[in-house]
Amino acid sequence: MFDVLRLNLVSPLTLCFALGVFARVIRSQLALPRELYTSLSIYLLFALGLKGGVELSHSSLSQLAAPAAVTLLLGCLTPISAYLVLRRLGKFSIPDAAGIAAHYGSVSAVTFIAAQQFTNAAGAPAEGFMPTLLTLLEIPGIQVALAIGAFQMAQQPSSDSNQTSAGSKLLAVCHELLSAPSTMLLVGGLIIGTAVGTEGWKPVQPVFEGMFKGILTLFLLEMGLTAGARLQDLRSSGLFLAAFGIVIPVLHGLLGAWLGSLSGLSVGGTTMLATMAASASYIAAPPAVRMALPEANPTYYLTAALAITFPFNLIAGIPLYYRFAQFFCN
């Protein structure tokens, strides 16, 4: 376990993230231009979808069916479990519980990429269709949590017009998620990669594969800067939310590893699925929650996802999920 943890801690990805956090802690003026951050995000998401599509072109439906089924199951179970814990144990309000659960039901693409690099370095590469599972988990994980929140809010004493408004908001969120840039880049990349196959991939491979690790490392510097800026929010978010941001990902990761092994995934693929289940979205989920549940406190869901769960997964979570995968697959 120590060797696996060391492998993750001394990687450029983790160290660059730590540099960003440290820069914010000492109040350095280091910052990436907003335009550069947006460009890096577009590159990473499209490259992820494109490479996954090329690998998907080699996969049969029979190989994908069982992993896709357990991924959709996770997309339902993780937001429900997170919501119940937040409501019953944390005593959070309905909007806050649903808003946080939407982040933990969805998936962090950056954590996914970090896990992909980790499994490759560990000599246990995942199946090529894993980006397809990432896309499958992205939308239902958010939708289930928001649907719970909208339904629970509708049960509160209110007028018919308010209930109609809640339904309209849910439809608007569906459109927002399906047309979101992250969804368009991932799904569009998957379709293009599947259509062009290996031969069409070769001319652009140096750009979308050869440069991938370097651009991801730079992106994680920005993530460290962003997470470091939110560390002070831990004081107002409370001890329960801090514990939630670590314990729930571990439990979701354990569930994902078990289901991944049952679906026939390899150790690398099972690690990736466990990481997806354990991660928390901070790109796709926030705008969806703001639209559907404006009453939800952004400090809670952003601090939990970005300042607690993301660093935990990057530093210690991914090696732990790798061990879970080894246990269930062997």
> DSSP per residue over 54-118, as a string?
HHHTT--HHHHHHHHHHHHHHHHHHHHHHHHIIIIIS---HHHHHHHHHHHHS--HHHHHHHHHH
Confidence of residue 313 (pLDDT cuts 50, 70, 90): very high
- Closest by CA to 301, choosing from 253, 292, 314, is 292
Check residue 30 and report its DSSP letter: -
CA dist., res. 104 & res. 234, Å (int) = 18
Per-residue burial over 201-239, b = 16 or more CB atoms within 10 Å of its CB, e = otherwise: beeeeeebeeebeeebbebbbbbbbbbbbbeebbeebee
CA dist., res. 144 & res. 289, Å (int) = 12
Confidence of residue 159 (pLDDT cuts 50, 70, 90): very low
Q: Higher-confidence residue: 48 or 250?
A: 250
Give pLDDT, residue 161: 45
Mean pLDDT of the chain: 86
Confidence of residue 69 (pLDDT cuts 50, 70, 90): very high
CATH for 2-20+34-329 (1.10.10.10, 3.30.1330.10, 2.60.40.1730, 1.20.1530.20): 1.20.1530.20
Out of 105-109, 158-162, 326-330, pick the least confident. 158-162
Phi-psi category of residue 39: left, alpha or beta, with phi > 0 → left and psi -120 to 50 → alpha: alpha
40 and 147 in contact (C-beta within 8 Å)?
no
Give pLDDT, residue 83: 96
Highest mean pLDDT among 158-167, 209-218, 266-275: 266-275
Give pLDDT, residue 166: 58
144 and 80 in contact (C-beta within 8 Å)?
yes
Of all residues in the chain, what percent carry a pLDDT higher than 90? 43
Q: What's this model's pTM, rounded to 2 decimal places?
A: 0.81
